[in-house]
C-alpha cells in the first residue's frame, strides 16, 4: 500500500516543533509495517538543498498565481524515504521563517503557499508521477488540510486521512481568497470550508477527510468539548465516528542517551550514573552554580500561552527559594522572554535562559536536567516530555492531552509506577506543589532512581503508532479510479 504524507515540516530539514519530528520518524516506521510511504513538502530552500539526488519529476499544472511550478523528488539523507518538493521560488524562497515574516505576522500569501500542497497531493493521487501513485493521502495540520477537499473535487482518486497536530492553528483566511483556491464554488459553505464568514483550511480537511486522527487519545476526547475545541468542536462531534487518537512516538535513532554524541557522557537505564556528568556540564555551559544537589529543572519549549510558562515565571522565585535551578531554552512571546531574561540577570547562578532555537542544546538540557517542566494549558501529544523520560529526566506536567496519557504520577498510580509528576490546576501553586513532590522524592535516592529507570524504559517507540496508522489506512475505502 502506498501512502503520501503531505506536510510543511520534516526533521532534519525544516522543523519548528513536534510536527517536523513526526514526519521524520513516521515514514520509516511505516516501512516496517509494509507501507510504502513518501512525503510531499513545499520546496523551501532547506528542503531543496537538503534532499539527496534531487531530480525534476514533471511540470506541475497549478493555478496561474503559482507561475512555473516544478515537482521534484529526492531522498531524505540517511534514509530511503522519497520526498517530493514543490519548487516555486516565488512562494517559498527567501523567507527566513516558513510561516511568518520578521514582524511575526503570517506571510500574506500563506493561502497560496499551502493550498499548493493540497493541490499537488491530489494531483499525485490522480497519477501526476507516472511511476508512483498513492492509495492514501495523509495530510498533516492545516497546511495540508485542503488535500482531502481537492481529492473530493477530483472524484476521490485516493482515500484521505487528516492528522491534527494542533487544533489551535487552523489556517483562517478572508473569504475573498476563495476563488484563488480553484475549488468547486459549493465548497464555500457551512458543510465545507466556510467558518464564521471566513475560510478555514483545517475545517475543509475535517469535513472532507475519510478519517481524522489526532496525536493522543486524551486530546481526541478533549477537542470534542467547547473548552478545547477551538470553535471546531461542533464539526469534530459530527465527525466523531471518523476520529481516533494515535499517540506519537520517540525516534530512538535520534533520542537515545546511550548513543547521543551531543551529550557530555553517554548513559543508559542500566547505568544512569554518568547523567551526573551531563548535569555538571550543562550547569557549567549555562553559567549556573555547580550544584549537584539542586533539583535542576529543564525547559525546551515555544514560549506561548499554550505552553503555560507564565505559570513558571510566576513560580520561579519560589522554586529558586526551594533550592531549584532552572535551565531554559525557548522563544516566543516578548513578555515571557523579557520576564525570564530579567530573572536570569538577577539570579544567574539559579536560572539560565537561552532565547532561540538550538537542537544540540535541547539534547544537552534533556540529558543534564533532573526534571523537565511542561505546564501546558493544552497539549495535543507533546514530545519534549517523551524525550525527557528517555533521558531519565522526570517530567513535571499538567494533566492535559498527551501529557495525561504519557506521564504517570506516583501519587495517582502508586509508588511503583511513577514516571513523573502531574498537577491539575492552571495555577503557579499547583506547579510549585508538583515540584515540591519532586524534591521530596529526590531525597529518597533509590525511589528517584527507580522512577528514572521506569521513565527511561517506558515504550514510546514509533512501532505501535505505525501499526495503528497501517491498520487505519487498510480500513479506508479505496480510491475511485
Interacting residues toward ligand ADP by CB under 6 A: 17-18, 21, 300-302, 329-331, 357-359, 362, 381-384
| C-alpha cell at position 336 | 515571557
Q: Which residue has the cell 515540591?
A: 436
Which C-beta is closer to ligand ADP: that of 18 or that of 308? Answer: 18
**Residue 95: half-sphere exposure toward Cβ, Cα within 13 Å:** 25
Q: How far is the CB of 297 from ligand ADP (least distance, A)?
A: 16
- State the CB neighbour count (10 A cutoff) for residue 207: 24
6 Cβ neighbours under 8 A, 6+ residues apart:
39, 40, 41, 117, 118, 120, 121, 137, 138, 139, 140, 144, 147
Q: How far is the CB of 329 from ligand ADP (least distance, A)?
A: 5
Residue nearest to ligand ADP according to CB distances in the complex: 18
Q: How far is CA 38 from CA 50, 137, 240, 259, 434, in A?
A: 16, 10, 28, 28, 43
Q: How far is the CB of 358 from ligand ADP (least distance, A)?
A: 5
Which C-beta is closer to ligand ADP: that of 99 or that of 132? Answer: 99
Which C-beta is closer to ligand ADP: that of 116 or that of 313? Answer: 313
Q: Which residue has the cell 519530528?
A: 21
Q: How far is the CB of 397 from ligand ADP (least distance, A)?
A: 11
Which C-beta is closer to ligand ADP: that of 37 or that of 329? Answer: 329
Q: How far is the CB of 98 from ligand ADP (least distance, A)?
A: 14
Q: How far is the CB of 384 from ligand ADP (least distance, A)?
A: 4
Q: How far is the CB of 20 from ligand ADP (least distance, A)?
A: 8
User: CA angle, 465 as apex, 463 and 467 as ends, to 5°?
Assistant: 70
Q: How far is the CB of 12 from ligand ADP (least distance, A)?
A: 11
Q: How far is the CB of 30 from ligand ADP (least distance, A)?
A: 19
Which C-beta is closer to ligand ADP: that of 211 or that of 328? Answer: 328
Which C-beta is closer to ligand ADP: that of 100 or that of 440? Answer: 100
Torsion angles phi and psi, residue 262, rounded to 5: -85, -10
Which C-beta is closer to ligand ADP: that of 69 or that of 215? Answer: 215
Asked if 298 and 435 count as a contact pair (C-beta separation under 8 A), the reply is no
Which C-beta is closer to ligand ADP: that of 107 or that of 357? Answer: 357
Which C-beta is closer to ligand ADP: that of 302 or that of 377? Answer: 302
**CA nearest to 284, candidates 352, 370, 362:** 352
Which C-beta is closer to ligand ADP: that of 124 or that of 374? Answer: 374
* Cα separation, 122 vs 107, whole angstroms: 24
* Cα separation, 423 vs 335, whole angstroms: 25
Q: How far is the CB of 353 from ligand ADP (least distance, A)?
A: 11
Which C-beta is closer to ligand ADP: that of 129 or that of 358? Answer: 358
Q: How far is the CB of 359 from ligand ADP (least distance, A)?
A: 5
Which C-beta is closer to ligand ADP: that of 11 or that of 114? Answer: 11
Q: How far is the CB of 248 from ligand ADP (least distance, A)?
A: 7
108 Cβ neighbours under 8 A, 6+ residues apart:
none
Amino acid at each position: 500500500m502506498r501512502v503520501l504524507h503531505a506536510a510543511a515540516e520534516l526533521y532534519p530539514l525544516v522543523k519548528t516543533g513536534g510536527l517536523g519530528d513526526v514526519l521524520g520518524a513516521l515514514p520509516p516506521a511505516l516501512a516496517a509495517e509494509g507501507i510504502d510511504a513518501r512525503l510531499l513538502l513545499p520546496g523551501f530552500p532547506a528542503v531543496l538543498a537538503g534532499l539527496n539526488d534531487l531530480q525534476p519529476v514533471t511540470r506541475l499544472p497549478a493555478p496561474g498565481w503559482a507561475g512555473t511550478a516544478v515537482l521534484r523528488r529526492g531522498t531524505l539523507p540517511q534514509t530511503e524515504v522519497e520526498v517530493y518538493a514543490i519548487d516555486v521560488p516565488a512562494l517559498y524562497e527567501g523567507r527566513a521563517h516558513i510561516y511568518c515574516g520578521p514582524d511575526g505576522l503570517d506571510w500574506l500569501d500563506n493561502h497560496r503557499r499551502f493550498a499548493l500542497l493540497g493541490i499537488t497531493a491530489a494531483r499525485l493521487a490522480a497519477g501526476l508521477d507516472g511511476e508512483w501513485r498513492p492509495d492514501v493521502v495523509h495530510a498533516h495540520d492545516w497546511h495540508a488540510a485542503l488535500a482531502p477537499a481537492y481529492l473530493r473535487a477530483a472524484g476521490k482518486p485516493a482515500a484521505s486521512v487528516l492528522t491534527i497536530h494542533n487544533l489551535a492553528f487552523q489556517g483562517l483566511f478572508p473569504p475573498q481568497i476563495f476563488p484563488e483556491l480553484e475549488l468547486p464554488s459549493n465548497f464555500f459553505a457551512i458543510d465545507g470550508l466556510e467558518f464564521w464568514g471566513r475560510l478555514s483550511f483545517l475545517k475543509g480537511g475535517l469535513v472532507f477527510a475519510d478519517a481524522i486522527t489526532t496525536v493522543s487519545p486524551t486530546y481526541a476526547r478533549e477537542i470534542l468539548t467547547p473548552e478545547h475545541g477551538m470553535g471546531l468542536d461542533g464539526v469534530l462531534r459530527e465527525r466523531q465516528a471518523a476520529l481516533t487518537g494515535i499517540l506519537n512516538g520517540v525516534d530512538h535513532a535520534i533520542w537515545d542517551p546511550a548513543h547521543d554524541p551531543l551529550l557530555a557522557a553517554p548513559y543508559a537505564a542500566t547505568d544512569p550514573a554518568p547523567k551526573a556528568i551531563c548535569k555538571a556540564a550543562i550547569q557549567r555551559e549555562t553559567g549556573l552554580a555547580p550544584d549537584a544537589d539542586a533539583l535542576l529543572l529543564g525547559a525546551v519549549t515555544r514560549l506561548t500561552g499554550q505552553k503555560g510558562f507564565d505559570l513558571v515565571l510566576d513560580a520561579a522565585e519560589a522554586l529558586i527559594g526551594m533550592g531549584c535551578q532552572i535551565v531554559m531554552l525557548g522563544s516566543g512571546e516578548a513578555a515571557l522572554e523579557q520576564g525570564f531574561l530579567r530573572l536570569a540577570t538577577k539570579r544567574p547562578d539559579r536560572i539560565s535562559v537561552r532565547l532561540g532555537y538550538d537542537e544540540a542544546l535541547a539534547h544537552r538540557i534533556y540529558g543534564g536536567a533532573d526534571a523537565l517542566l511542561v505546564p501546558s494549558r493544552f497539549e495535543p501529544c507533546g514530545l519534549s516530555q517523551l524525550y525527557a523520560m528517555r533521558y531519565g529526566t522526570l517530567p513535571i506536567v499538567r494533566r492535559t492531552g498527551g501529557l495525561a496519557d504519557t506521564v504517570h504520577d506516583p501519587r495517582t498510580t502508586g509508588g511503583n509506577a511513577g514516571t513523573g509528576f502531574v498537577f491539575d490546576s492552571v495555577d503557579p501553586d499547583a506547579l510549585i506543589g508538583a515540584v515540591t513532590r519532586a524534591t521530596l522524592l529526590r531525597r529518597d535516592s533509590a525511589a528517584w532512581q527507580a522512577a528514572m529507570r521506569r521513565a527511561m524504559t517506558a515504550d514510546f517507540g514509533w512501532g505501535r503508532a505505525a501499526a495503528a496508522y497501517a491498520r487505519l489506512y487498510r480500513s479506508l475505502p479505496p480510491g475511485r479510479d
